[in-house]
A and B are shown apart, each in its own frame.
Chain A
Amino acid sequence: MARTVTTQRKTLNTALAWAVGLLIFFPILWTILTSFKTEAQAIASPPIFLNFDWTLENYAIVQERSDYMRFLWNSVIIAGGSTVLGVIVAIPAAWAMAFVPSKRTKDILLWMLSTKMLPAVGVLYPIYLLFIQLGLLDSRGGLVVVLMLINLPIIVWMLYTYFREIPGEILEAARMDGATLKEEILYILTPMAIPGIASTVLLNFILAWNEAFWTLNLTAVDAAPLTAFIASYSSPEGLFFAKLSAASTMAIAPILILGWFSQKQLVRGLTFGAVK
């Protein structure tokens, strides 16, 4: 990676990259800034960037109107639960596909991905009726299962690509030493695949966190996550840019922070085995 470049070129790169980066980030930045304005300042013309009276009033109003922590907690449980469950189901499948590939492996993999193409709205009534029968409406458990199923194909695929990168010789050696299948998975494969599993977990946590159809339509009170929280701020009467911004900031902040802290793992995770 030790490419030598002139300072001039590096400066140019830096300037350009920062400009593009800030441009892409700007809508989020603007939302965060707006959340600290008053409603009147939020629509001021010309727009105000930084020199306004910073206020926490919008956050106070949002918090007073809805119990943010409950929505947040539901989001954490649902996204976390579905991811964990998904990984548990997916690891053995991905292992089998990666190390005991058969002619049909690729077909199965692609078939799994194709299940994601079923349009959710089309099956709302069937699923809703099913949920009523099973008494799962407005329960976190039901949503955990649904989101796990929605993301399972992606999880299997990501894990499969990681597992495939683990050199087969190591497994051979372990087998020579008399390791059982269970030991092989527990003590050799899993530790080697930890980075891959970590990034899979991260990506799917994000996908589950942002899922807004089922989480909105199958919940009411007990299981309502942040997507439902946002639905109560989208177009109330009167000026609402600042309050909407505050609610939006509250809804995306946790995942944004998580994403930033773990971006190295995530970057790895997003390769889908594309680099090989």
Chain B
Amino acid sequence: MYLRNALRAATAMTLVATAAAHADTLTIATVNNGDMIRMQGYTDKFTEATGIDVEWVTLEENVLRQRVTTDITTKGGTFDIMTIGMYETPIWGANGWLVPLDGLSEEYDVGDILPAMAGGLSHDGTLFAAPFYGESSMIMYRADLMEKAGMEMPEAPSWQFIKEAAAAMTDRDAEINGICLRGKAGWGEGGAFITAMSNSFGARWFDEEWKPQFDQPEWADTLNFYVEMMNESGPAGYATNGFNENLSLFQQGKCGMWIDATVAASFVTNPDDSTVADHVGFALAPDTGLGKRSNWLWAWALAIPAGTQQEDAAKQFIEWATSKDYIELVAESEGWANVPPGARTSLYENPEYQKVPFAKMTLDSILSADPNSPTVKPVPYVGIQFAAIPEFAGIATQVSQEFSAVYAGQQTVEEALAKAQAFTAEEMEAAGY
């Protein structure tokens, strides 16, 4: 212990300048999403008001996960605030690695956070991360193309309808694909989509005994339906398309429908980036009549790693960044369509925000997602497009790689499911289930 401190002191001495700056500087790790980058532009206001400096470490999602996970499990103490999601929060909270977000100020109004979000970011009723923005998933479609195809989108369509509409809207000569969906490998990419979709087909990852369920017919139904529809009406190379690839396809007018995160609504309706901004309609994610829809629930949230020297300053920052005032700040200078959505009830009660075309559908989608009962059959896990257990990310990434190989035509659905079943069983056994 003495040696360790001595070495620390020595390093500190050699880095006096940086060490001194550290005393009232927060280091925040975050993801390079639009809303986060916008927040960085406003940090000056926070610094002005509190005198606390903020240093940003902005990373791409996969790199960010890898960085913050390494740091929190080794108690590296590199960051004062980490941007994490609904998957990590309950697991880390249960391990005691996060500072509980209690004793927040009166005006912050913690009760205003959407219950679905607060629930997903808590463990045993204690909030461990504050949602910066939240999302579900929904259908975004081209009203003009739908009309041209002579069809009408219901508020809550079925998968069968979507498949037919996709085929009708597809026009290969005009480079229009009826439907664009994620196929990219990775648990947070195509893995999240197919898992949420499988819920509506009655599939589940594990049964109550934690036995993997890929050998059940529901999974084969899901994948067969997906592959058939995508081969018929999807874009070329959909096996490598993730959120971003589809977004750019949709913005260029190359998709008839796109089922993805509700936050995408503000991008596809923004005339600066989107060529189809005026023609976008919204609908609930499809189902098959079994009682569960295929929409997920997710939040990017700010959490404080236990052991930080700057707990108070970090709490102050989180209160600022996820407050009602911050939302108003953004609304004032960039318009209501650009505020971080999906975190607070009051936002959806605001008449100004209700005028935003996707506001209602976003809220409806969020409200129709229930992480505590995600599937038709009972499951032992929490989470819709994931199972909140530490092993899931690793397993689901490999499983989704097998699925992507199906999408690319490199193996059959049966082969992929057999491999997924074997691999998952192997990993779960290794983890001691």
Contacts and interface: CB of A to CB of B under 8 A. Distances in A.
A219 B10 CA distance: 19
A60 interface: no
B248 A43 contact: yes
A235 to B, nearest CB: 5
B136 to A, nearest CB: 17
A65 B7 contact: no
B11 A139 contact: yes
Nearest to B273: A238
Interface in B27-52: 27, 29, 32-34, 37, 40-41
B34 A237 contact: yes
B412 interface: no
Dominant SS at the B interface? helix
- Which of A137, A138, A222, A237 gathers most chain B CB within 10 Å? A237
B179 to A, nearest CB: 20
Contacts of A128: 70, 74, 76
B74 A132 contact: yes
A221 B264 CA distance: 30
A125 B74 contact: yes
B40 A65 contact: yes
B95 interface: no
Contacts of A228: 57, 59
A129 B40 contact: no
A141 B14 contact: yes
Given A231-B59, A231-B63, A238-B244, A222 B34 contact: no
Contacts of B57: 220-221, 224, 228
Contacts of A221: 27, 55, 57
Nearest to B61: A235
A134 B11 contact: yes
B79 A237 contact: no
Interface residues of A, number: 36
A135 interface: yes
B66 interface: yes
Interface residues of B, number: 43
A232 interface: yes
B252 to A, nearest CB: 7
Nearest to A138: B78
Nearest to A222: B18
A137 B78 contact: yes
Contacts of A64: 41
Contact of B244 (A39, A129, A132, A236): A236
A135 B11 contact: yes
B73 to A, nearest CB: 8
Given A125-B70, A220-B57, 8 more contacts: A65-B58, A132-B74, A132-B77, A135-B8, A220-B29, A238-B34, A238-B248, A238-B251
29 contacts: A39-B273, A124-B70, A125-B70, A125-B74, A131-B76, A132-B74, A132-B77, A133-B4, A135-B12, A136-B11, A137-B77, A141-B11, A217-B66, A217-B70, A220-B27, A220-B67, A232-B58, A233-B60, A234-B60, A235-B60, A236-B37, A236-B244, A237-B33, A237-B267, A238-B244, A238-B247, A238-B251, A238-B267, A239-B273
Interface of B: 4, 7-8, 10-12, 14-15, 18, 27, 29, 32-34, 37, 40-41, 55, 57-61, 63, 66-67, 70, 74-79, 242-244, 247-248, 251-252, 264, 267, 273
